[in-house]
Structure 1
Amino acid sequence: MRIKQTLAAAAATLIALSAVTACDDKPEPGRAGGVTTPARPGAPAPQAAPPSAGSTADAQKYLRQYASCENLATGGREDVRLRSSSVKTVGESVAELGVCSDLRENGAIGIFLTPDMKKFQEAYRLQVMDRIAAGKPEYGLYSRVFVGKDFVAEPTSVKTARALAKSGMRVLTCNPTFGVPEGRKKEKALADQCVLSDFVHTADGADAGGPEPGGAQGGQPAPPAIPGLPSAGSLAELRKLIGSSVDCTRFSTDPDTVAIRSIDYQPFVDGDAAGWGIGERGLCGQPAGAQRAHGLVWLDKVDDMAVLQSRAKAVRLKEIQENGGRTRATKSVLMLGGNVAVETNNASSRFGLYQQQFFRLECTPGFVTPQGYRSEKAMVDGCVLTNYEPGGVTP
């Protein structure tokens, strides 16, 4: 009898354990099914929304998932570790601030809590525009201002910024000359004319954030060598693209009209456009006729950008040799995009085009782009693409 009782108890135990196991194997509500696979130890969980922090200590805890953030101190705007911060001067939109030491990169991270993120972003944008107007055109171009839902982080180290770019925070950039490279995350900011991205722009043009340079990830095509250059599939698209910078109300692709020259407006491209690598060509403005020509601007859909840059370099070097680099004021400046070009001698139009990430080809021997302006490698040796233009036209 005792043996039968023991066997019955063991059977009951096995039944109970099987029931528990069956319960544990049921998928959690809202999941696809199966047992949840634990995350890799030490890896932060993916962010479905911007991170939030109720205090600087909470923000520090979040940042530690991606970077070193030690020796947190709060309330000290004069903390020496914040001496280079662009956020501490934003104003009333910052309710509480702190700073921690980035021991790994020998730097620091500023932490700023804000009860109204929209107000903060608008205040930061105003600060950027004020500094640009005061003669600092590069201000905010190399932003390391990372925003979450209700807090901001600003690291002093580029390496730390790259690490934070892989978090749920986004880089806030309000300098109008900045463009988010293709293949990077781009989101609308709460302030007009600002953008949120996972791209950390640096003065040396080094890639920082997003897919690794020089290759594709996840089956996606690699980003272009020069990030942010404007492109268009047709002249109609190009005309629409530059509408905020160039008055192209009147437009023609008629070859005879496009070939028109005026004493006041001369194109950069001279001769057969196909020999310059240009496939399609159009003309904005009022050609000469009963009235004097007005507002002539040439639009180019480029089939071979290397050929165009090579011809442009030859023209520029000839000007340097014969005229000391000087060109007539009526001659257009060649503004280059990814697969398009615009030729205009209007300074106001060029200012707008620089803001849209068009570049000028500069081939003057020994030329060095001044600090604060963008400079990218051209397709032809001895030249660079830059948004700097002598004479104060640059943004």
Structure 2
Amino acid sequence: MRIQRLVTISTAALLCLTALTACGSGDEGVSAEGELGNPVPAKNGGTDGSGGSDGDGKTGGPGLPKAGSMAKAAQIVNAYGTCNDISTNPNDDDFFPGDETYDQKWSVTERGACGKGTRIFMFKDLKTFQAAYKAQLDADRKESPNKGHRGKFLLGQDFAVLPDQKPVIRNAIKPGGLLILNCHPDFNPPTGYRKDPALVKGCVLTNYFED
């Protein structure tokens, strides 16, 4: 009968509402990473819960893009400066002497160079990378107190960039881009610029670049 059928449907709907996990939340088709350059914000203020390295989903920088591969990182960097031809050959002329020191201790898994002095470092763990830079800077500052005052690396969630041209840096730190890792104790940008806590105490992520 029609009345009995309506009662059956209403009962099923009520059961579905009281057990959402059994009926699905409707988000199965949504990508956690979002489109390139337009990360999907997560509840913790990051771009997605998998980007964190400290176990609780924190990324150490809200909105940082995640590459997942050297090719994708080069594609992201190419939006800020020329990075059409990426090379992972350490004998390439675009590699800088000393880049080999960014190794497993930094959690670096792959190094690339894309011309005009721009290098990319893929890493597994954002917190380990930040900690390695902080340790290196603390050691260097014993002889050069001002070293690192402008910061050094441009950071994404799983890659770092060392550009050799100031225009690349300025383009990269525009809204929706990368942020500069700065671990200098005296760093204090003007009001209005970002100074987000990094995953390592004493370090911040900022969009302030001082020439």
Range class of TM-score, shorter chain: 0.5 to 0.7
1:345 to 154, 157, 164: 164
Shift of the 303–248 alpha-carbon distance from structure 1 to 2, 3 Å rule, reads same
CA distance in 1, matches of 2:57, 2:101: 34
Residue type matched to 2:65 in 1? P
Q: 1:304 to 1:26 in 2, by over 3 A?
A: closer
Alignment-mate amino acid for residue 314 of structure 1: A
Superposed CA offset, 1:63-115 (max 9, x none) = xxxxxxxxxxxxxxxxxxxxxxxxxxxxxxxxxxxxxxxxxxxxxxxxxxxxx
- Compute the displacement of 1:224 (Å): 3.7
Contact 1:246 1:349 in 2 (8 A): yes
How far, CA to CA, are the matches of 1:246 and 1:324 in structure 2? 31
Shift of 1:320: 3.6
| Identical residues among aligned pairs (%) | 25
Partner of 1:271: 101
Residue matched to 1:383: 203
Residues 272/309 of structure 1: CA separation in 2 closer, same or farther (3 Å cut): closer
Displacement of 1:252 after TM fit? Answer: 1.0
Aligned match of 2:42: 183
User: What's the offset of the Cα at 1:234?
Assistant: 1.0
Q: Are 2:114 and 1:284 aligned?
A: yes
Cα distance in structure 2, aligned partners of 1:319 and 1:181: 37
The structural deviation recorded for 1:340 is 0.7
More strand, by proportion? 1
Counterpart CA distance in 1 for 2:38 and 2:58 is: 13
Structure 2 distance, partners of 1:25, 1:372, is: 64
**Residue among 171, 177, 188 paired with 1:368:** 188
Q: Per the alignment, in what secondary structure is the counterpart of residue 133 of structure 2? A: helix
Would the aligned equivalents of 2:137 and 2:147 in 1 still touch at CA under 8 Å?
no
Equivalent pair of 1:333/1:360 in contact (CA under 8 Å): yes
Which residues in structure 2 correspond to 1:7-156 (within 5 Å)?
Answer: 27=6, 33-34=9-10
Q: Secondary structure at the match of 1:231?
A: coil
* Separation (CA, whole Å) in 1 of partners of 2:113 and 2:161: 10
Residues 26/359 of structure 1: CA separation in 2 closer, same or farther (3 Å cut): same
**What does the per-residue CA deviation read over 1:120-179, in whole Å, with 9 as the maximum and x for residues that have no partner?**
xxxxxxxxxxxxxxxxxxxxxxxxxxxxxxxxxxxxxxxxxxxxxxxxxxxxxxxxxx96
**TM-score normalised by structure 1 residue count:** 0.38
RMSD over equivalenced CA pairs, Å? 3.6
3-state SS of 1:333 partner: coil
- Report the CA distance shift for 1:239/1:322 in structure 2 as closer, same or farther (over 3 A): same
Cα deviation for residue 360 of structure 1 reads: 1.5
Give the equivalent residue in structure 2 for 1:357. 177
Q: Secondary structure at the match of 1:227?
A: coil
Equivalent residues of 1:309, 1:379 under 8 A apart: yes
Q: Which amino acid aligns with 2:9?
A: G
Q: Distance in 2 between matches of 1:367 and 1:333?
A: 12
Q: Distance in 1 between matches of 2:129 and 2:114?
A: 20
The change in CA–CA distance for 1:180 and 1:26 in structure 2 (over 3 A counts) is: same
Separation in structure 2 between the aligned mates of residue 381 and residue 280 of structure 1, nearest angstrom: 26
C-alpha contact 2:194 2:207 (8 A) present in aligned 1:
yes
Q: Tell me how far 1:367 sits from its aligned partner.
A: 3.0
- Taking the aligned partners of 2:39 and 2:72, their CA distance within structure 1 comes to 20
Q: TM-score, normalised by structure 2?
A: 0.67
Q: Which has the larger radius of gyration?
A: 1
Match of 1:239 among 61, 67, 74: 74
1:304 equivalent to 2:139? Answer: no
Structure 2: runs of 5 or more not aligned:
15-36, 50-55
Task: State the AA in 2 paired with 1:347.
Answer: K
- Once the two structures are superposed, what CA deviation does each residue of 1:179-203 show, in whole Å capped at 9, x if it has no partner? 655436xxxxxxxxxxxxxxxxxxx
Asked if 1:256 corresponds to 2:91, the answer is yes
Amino acid at match of 2:80: S
SS of the equivalent of 2:114 reads: strand
Shift of 1:272: 5.3
Query: Residues 182 and 223 of structure 1 are in contact (CA less than 8 Å); yes or no, is this contact kept in structure 2?
Result: no
Query: Is the 2:95–2:113 Cα contact (8 Å) retained in structure 1?
Result: no
2:103–2:109 contact (8 Å) kept in structure 1 = yes
Q: How far did 1:33 drift?
A: 3.0
Residue 279 of structure 1 and its aligned partner are, at CA, apart by 0.3
